Amino acid sequence: MTPLQRTLESARIVLCVGHGGVGKTTITAALATWAARHGRRTAVLTVDPAQRLKDTLGLGRGDGPRRVPLTLDGARGGRGARAGHLDAYLLDVKRTFDELIVALAAPEQARIILENRLYQNLSGSLAGTAEYMAVERVYRLADEGGYDLVVVDTPPARHAVDFLDAPRRLLALLESRVFSILKDPTTILPAAGSRLARLVLDAVLSGLERFTGIGLVREVGDFVRAIDTLSIALAARIRAVQATLAGPGTALVLVAAPEPRLVGETGVLVEALGRTGLRIGGIVVNRSLPRALFEQPADLSPPENLPSALVGRLRRGHADMRALAARQEAVLAPLVAKARAPVVGRVPLMAAGPGSLAELAAIGAHLFPEADEPVARARGLAQ
């Protein structure tokens, strides 16, 4: 069994991170499909606002799970395997936030918060909230969803770091001065809490509201006061989520494509991940050219009986592909060194983009070599 397979057999949460354009979504789907075929009750969640996984898995919009069929023509059937299944989820930030409030607050309190106009505006769009709610959703699926494994397609690049760092930042926000300022805005003025301070601030705020025409500035305070009654429960919850994310049951898989531009961006992501204290467990290299074909000498004797013009074109085509393969190897090595993680899978560049479950299975076949399964089955028979 390969390290990647071991991870998918044992982890509770697998987070796929990578820069946009590396095929992260497809790899995520392939990993989840393999796990489900091998008996794990699996959920796959996409956080990407562009909802690409939806395309790959043939989903519509919405937050509810869709059962993804695993028996396909041409796919390797898990004969005699335990029954696993695959549910696909799309993140609905607002609904996740609502459910969290309802779970943590007393009914009356929950109603006040949910009806606050600012909350309604904010719950879907506050920078950082989307990322936190994604983590919350992952935690809930893993903890209460009845799944063995949750595979997550994280947002691309710098948003991936926001995502992984979300619990810490939200905690910092709850404990920050800004939060107490918003609760009682007069605390920023020298004579905090005095009537004069309040009068001055009221003047400033109403000036701001007149200028902007937006009555929301004042409502921030109302909202923060309401949510403050929850802050202890919320903080405890966030700590639990944070512990799960950093715990041994969570594996981080970096998806990289060996193209110079994408490698550069992925390197930036790796550095940012390092700062959050999360470790990369393994690297999946997507879109690599099959090395074996291009390691051979450039001056091969041409195939026989071909028109000379075609031979010239064939030679040039191969030379270009060969140069591309060499460049791929050259840019990939420093990235692997920087990530300090092993390459656990390689998927070749395919001429046709993956867009169906059958093609997903083809990618799975590259990630999880064919040889493994028959060998394992033969061993099972021998015992």
Partner 1 sequence: MQKLEERPQAVNAICRRNTRVYAATRKLTLRRRHGYEPGVAARLSLGSQRLVIVTGKGGVGKTTVAAALARAASAAGRRTLAVEVGGGRLASLLGADTLGAEPVRIAPTLSAARIEPEDALADFVEGVLRFRLLSRRLLGSTSFQILAAAAPGLAELLVLNKVHAWLEARRLRRPLYDLIVLDAPASGHSLPLLSAPRTLGALARLGPIAELLRTLAGMLADASATLVLLVTTPEELAVRETIELHEELAGRERLPVGPPIVNAMPGRRFGPSDVEVLDGLGATAHDHPWLVAARFLVERRREAESQLGMLRQALGSGAVRLPFLWTPPDDPASLEPLAEGLASAAGLAA
Binding span for partner 1 by CB under 8 A among 22-30, 106-114, 143-151, 335-343: 22-30
Amino acid letter, 154: T
- Residue 149 or 283: the one with the smaller Cβ distance to partner 1 is 283
Decide: is 191 part of the binding site for partner 1 (CB under 8 A): no
User: Does 278 engage in binding with partner 1 (CB under 8 A)?
Assistant: no
Please list the helix, strand and coil fractions of the chain in percent, rounded to the nearest 5, in that order. Answer: 60, 10, 30
Contact yes or no for 131/24 (Cβ under 8 A): no
Other Cβ atoms less than 10 A from the Cβ of 231: the count is 18
Q: How far is the CB of 353 from partner 1 (least distance, A)?
A: 4
Contact flag: residue 361 with partner 1 (CB under 8 A): no
Separation between Cα atoms, residue 375 and residue 383, nearest integer Å: 13
Q: Which of 313, 340, 358, 376 binds partner 1 (CB under 8 A)?
A: 313
Is the CB of residue 133 less than 8 Å from the CB of residue 100?
yes
| Token representation of residue 253 | 């898989």
CB 81 within 8 A of CB 34: no
How far is Cα 54 from Cα 79, in angstroms, rounded to an integer?
28
Structure tokens at 139: 């935690």
Out of 36, 110, 118, 164, the residue judged to bind partner 1 by CB under 8 A = 118
Task: Give me the least distance between CB of 92 and partner 1, in Å please.
Answer: 15
Considering the rule CB under 8 A, would residue 300 count as an interface residue with partner 1?
yes
> 218 to 237, contacts with partner 1 by CB under 8 A?
219-220
Binds partner 1 (CB under 8 A): choice among 85, 140, 183, 315: 315
- Scan for tokens 């395919």, then name that residue: 350
Q: Which residue has the tokens 């300090």?
A: 340
Interface of this chain with partner 1, residues 57 to 116, rule: CB under 8 A:
none
Q: Cβ 334 to partner 1, closest distance in Å?
A: 16
By DSSP bridging, strand 66-68 and strand 85-90 are antiparallel
Query: Any idea which residue has 């910092």 for tokens?
Result: 172
When asked if residue 291 is in the footprint of partner 1 (CB under 8 A), the reply is no
Q: Per rule CB under 8 A, is residue 19 in the interface with partner 1? A: yes
- Judged by CB under 8 A, the residue of 5, 7, 25, 28 near partner 1 is 25
Q: How far is the CB of 379 from partner 1 (least distance, A)?
A: 32
What's the residue count for the chain? 383
Task: List the one residue from 260, 277, 334, 369 that touches partner 1 (CB under 8 A).
Answer: 260
Residue 194 within binding range of partner 1, rule CB under 8 A: no
- 332 touching partner 1, by CB under 8 A: no
Q: Which residue shows structure tokens 């040889």?
A: 371
Query: Is residue 334 close enough to count as binding partner 1 by CB under 8 A?
Result: no
Task: Count CB atoms within 10 A of the CB of residue 341.
Answer: 17
Should residue 355 be labelled a site residue for partner 1 when binding is judged by CB under 8 A?
yes
| Residue 211 sits in the site that holds partner 1 (CB under 8 A) | yes
